[in-house]
Structure 1
Amino acid sequence: MSGAGEAQAQGARGASWFQRFLLPGFALKAVIIGGGYATGRELAEFFLPSGPWGGLAGMILAMLIWSIVAAVTFLFARMVGARDYRSFFEALLGRAWFIFEIGYLLFIILILAVFGAAAGAIAEVAFGAAPIVGTLALMAGIGLFATFGNASVEQLFKWVSFLLYGVYALLLILALSGFGDRIGAGFAVPAPADGWALGGLTYAGYNIIGAVVILPVLRHMRSDRDAVVAGLIAGPLAMAPAIAFFICMIAFYPGIAQEVLPSDFLLGQLGSPTFHLLFQLMIFAALLESGTGAVHAVNERIAKAWHIRRGAVLGSPARLGIALVILTGCMLVADRVGLVALIATGYRALAYIFLTVYVLPLLTIGLVRLARRRHAVPPFVAQEEVA
């Protein structure tokens, strides 16, 4: 093994259990939550139409899909030594790798537009500020964390996760104590449970892209066992806050399905201005980590290509410039299209794209190659941060 390879292997051996097992799940949650359930609009769109119990069934199905796909993704990435999505799909799809990148660019445009609109709505509702203030604040935060590469992004995932799980746990406690009887009554309301499987599959499809977006955090894994364990627990880690949120929403089913920001409506029912503000700040932090994860994946893809072609490291100024170009272009969409329309018209199409070019090839071609080549390919070792 070369000196660089020995240093990389030593870095993996020195990784903590948090970095090996929990960080991937926190990172997956980070990418998912902003476009997945931060505002509650997405839960209303994909799960409430199937009723309380059907909605929960759909969420559990989506969670299981996330766990399975994440575990196989992490194993395949280790086998081929991929730390960015382009390397991953070059190994999985060959010359057709660019099809995923087209879908991912569409995904970036949509989610950043959604995030910008949501941040603007939070600024207006929580602070009475103009929506553009929230959008610009989010852009500045994403640009800042994306500038400094992996270490900065991983710290963001870690600390925002602690905030997020704590706030969702507190939300569930307050909701059960404040209107737990309504939650029970909501689950007792007769409702059609059909369509839950399609809702769960669609929701899982457009969100599971997070498993391949977070490949940089796999640098801490020591073995295939790490990859499997981290992948399997990533699903529950990513879905647990959503399930807690959904249970709280059932207290006001079915009317809450019509709210543009179900989270804001639910917080208003709690009657606690302090917690309302805390929750809004948590949502902003969730949007920040989701947006940062999406932009960081592009930076890592460009950094790899830059290193191959120029033999040089992509520096912080270049990372910041790329981030600002992406953010400025994508968030302009938020001024023209409403939040609900973006989610309803864009995410379903993206789900089918990612299921076709990512999940299906991974669970067929990828599994076959894992079975045939796992012992023939040098194990993936952690790579030193180049940023």
Structure 2
Amino acid sequence: MSVFRKYFLPGFVFQGVLIAGGYGTGRELVEYFMKYGIRGGIAGMFLITTVMWAVILAVTFEFARVFKAYDYRSLLIRVLGPFWVVFEAFYLVLMVLVLGVVGSAAGVLLRQNFGIPYIFGVGVMLASIGFLTFKGSGLLEKLLSGWSIFIYLVYGLFLAAAIWKFGPLIQSQLSAGKMLPGWGLGGFKYALYNMGVIPSVLFCLNHIETRREAVVSGILASLIGILPGFLFFIAVLGDYPAVISQEAPAFFVLQKLHLPALLVAYLVMLFGTLIQTGTGFIHAFNQRLQTALQARGRRLLTWHRPVVALALLLVSLGVATFGLINLVAKGYGSISWGIFLSYFVPLMTIGVFKIVRKTGRRFPF
């Protein structure tokens, strides 16, 4: 169990919070990878996004270990001093955007597949997020790690079904795939805006005891996070390039497979990941509030957590009305640069310097 908590739990938590806002409906993978060509998308996914995640996660995990900083306020104060609030401003905007994506995806999912009113799906999803936020860290850690097995199972079945039905076409698309200009920037921006989920992972890093554990855990987290997205990318190639214009590409392809059981499994999986993503973001903010109050001799009461969650979720309801494609293309694209300047650059410069000065050891091991 110790090995799991040190090396795999952070990756499963990262994946659990990432997947719904990152690629649950497939819209994000299309926006940042597939529209740059098949080979361009794969190159951006592995040569840019995966490598960047591995580096920043490894440094984040090591910084958290060295300075015992297991929430983003504690971590960023160590890096930026009073300017840590700049990151928080971007984090709050990103959180609202992600919650908007979660709400939009829930509404679209139920409307397109079951004919249930859009607003009902949004409401059910946000109510579920509020409940889990209220329950706190213990249940959240179990949910985020345990659900990952089901996620891999569903994506594996999705890929197998797609190959069974569209295998020759998928192979043909891979052979003739192109690398269009902009693939590197697409992977860069995708990696950056998803770095905003890292605060949601900090609470489970207290099991890491050595630098080697931190670095290996960071690399594994990057791979655990990207692999389901890659399975999806390959699975939808049978409908390329038509899939690029779809609001929810996953369901566009699933409906063509004519496998009701797989569609239901994907719906269940996606609902779970939507809940995890929203809960993870809000939980990280609640943890930040808790440490701030503790520094002042106060504490975050149990009933404070759902109140904070409710306020954030209500704001996200308004954001969700703008539509999923606009949220992804405009909101995420813009916030990427803020995350880059307020988190990536300071941590990779000031943060690394402080780690070396504190430990007297250079990276990686």
Structure 1 counterpart of 2:57: 70
Q: Does residue 318 of structure 2 align to residue 316 of structure 1?
A: no
For 1:218 and 1:354, the matched residues in 2 are separated by 21
Structure 1 counterpart of 2:237: 250
| 1:247 Cα deviation after fit | 0.6
Match of 1:38 among 11, 21, 24: 24
Match of 1:29 among 8, 15, 18: 15
Structure 1 counterpart of 2:325: 340
| 1:192 Cα deviation after fit | 4.0
Dislocated runs of 4+, deviation >6 Å:
none
**Which stretch of structure 1 is more off in the superposition, 239-248 or 181-190?**
181-190
For 1:251 and 1:23, the matched residues in 2 are separated by 34
Are the equivalent residues in 1 in contact too, given 2:38–2:177 (CA < 8 A)?
no
| 1:369 Cα deviation after fit | 1.4
Structure 1 counterpart of 2:4: 18
**Which stretch of structure 1 is more off in the superposition, 190-199 or 270-279?**
190-199
**SS of alignment partner, residue 221 of structure 2:** helix
Match of 2:227 among 240, 244, 247: 240
Please list the CA deviations of residues 108-157 of structure 1 after superposition, one character each: whole Å capped at 9, or x if unmatched.
11111111011011111222211122111111211111112211110110
Are the equivalent residues in 1 in contact too, given 2:16–2:276 (CA < 8 A)?
yes
| 1:291 Cα deviation after fit | 0.7
Are the equivalent residues in 2 in contact too, given 1:146–1:152 (CA < 8 A)?
no
For 1:74 and 1:299, the matched residues in 2 are separated by 20
**SS of alignment partner, residue 332 of structure 1:** helix
Structure 2 counterpart of 1:331: 317
Match of 2:180 among 173, 193, 199: 193
| 1:63 Cα deviation after fit | 0.9
Q: Does residue 337 of structure 2 align to residue 352 of structure 1?
A: yes
| 1:193 Cα deviation after fit | 2.9
Structure 2 counterpart of 1:134: 121
Aligned CA distance change for structure 1 residues 79 and 222 (closer, same or farther; 3 Å): closer
Equivalent residue letter for 2:350? I
Structure 1 counterpart of 2:353: 368
Q: How many percent of aligned residue pairs carry the same amino acid?
A: 37
| 1:375 Cα deviation after fit | 5.2
Structure 1 counterpart of 2:194: 207
Q: Name stretches of at least 5 consecutive residues in structure 2 with no aligned partner.
A: none
For 2:184 and 2:109, the matched residues in 1 are separated by 32
| 1:332 Cα deviation after fit | 2.2
Structure 2 counterpart of 1:157: 144
Aligned CA distance change for structure 1 residues 192 and 221 (closer, same or farther; 3 Å): closer
TM-score by length of 1: 0.90
Are the equivalent residues in 2 in contact too, given 1:73–1:212 (CA < 8 A)?
no
TM-score by length of 2: 0.95
Equivalent residue letter for 1:274? A
Please list the CA deviations of residues 221-276 of structure 1 after superposition, one character each: whole Å capped at 9, or x if unmatched.
22222211111110100000000000112111111101111001110111111211
Are the equivalent residues in 1 in contact too, given 2:41–2:179 (CA < 8 A)?
no
Q: Does residue 33 of structure 2 align to residue 47 of structure 1?
A: yes
Are the equivalent residues in 1 in contact too, given 2:39–2:179 (CA < 8 A)?
no
Q: Does residue 64 of structure 2 align to residue 85 of structure 1?
A: no
Are the equivalent residues in 2 in contact too, given 1:123–1:130 (CA < 8 A)?
yes
Please list the CA deviations of residues 295-331 of structure 1 after superposition, one character each: whole Å capped at 9, or x if unmatched.
100110011112222333x232211111111111222
Are the equivalent residues in 2 in contact too, given 1:40–1:262 (CA < 8 A)?
yes
Are the equivalent residues in 2 in contact too, given 1:112–1:327 (CA < 8 A)?
yes
Equivalent residue letter for 2:61? F
Equivalent residue letter for 1:339? L
Aligned CA distance change for structure 1 residues 183 and 190 (closer, same or farther; 3 Å): closer
For 1:333 and 1:209, the matched residues in 2 are separated by 18
> CA RMSD, aligned part only?
1.4
| 1:76 Cα deviation after fit | 0.8
Task: Spell out the pairing of 1:244-283 with structure 2 (5 A cutoff).
Answer: 244-283=231-270
| 1:99 Cα deviation after fit | 0.2
For 2:165 and 2:240, the matched residues in 1 are separated by 16
Are the equivalent residues in 2 in contact too, given 1:65–1:204 (CA < 8 A)?
yes
Q: Name stretches of at least 5 consecutive residues in structure 1 with no aligned partner.
A: 1-14, 377-387
For 1:211 and 1:338, the matched residues in 2 are separated by 25
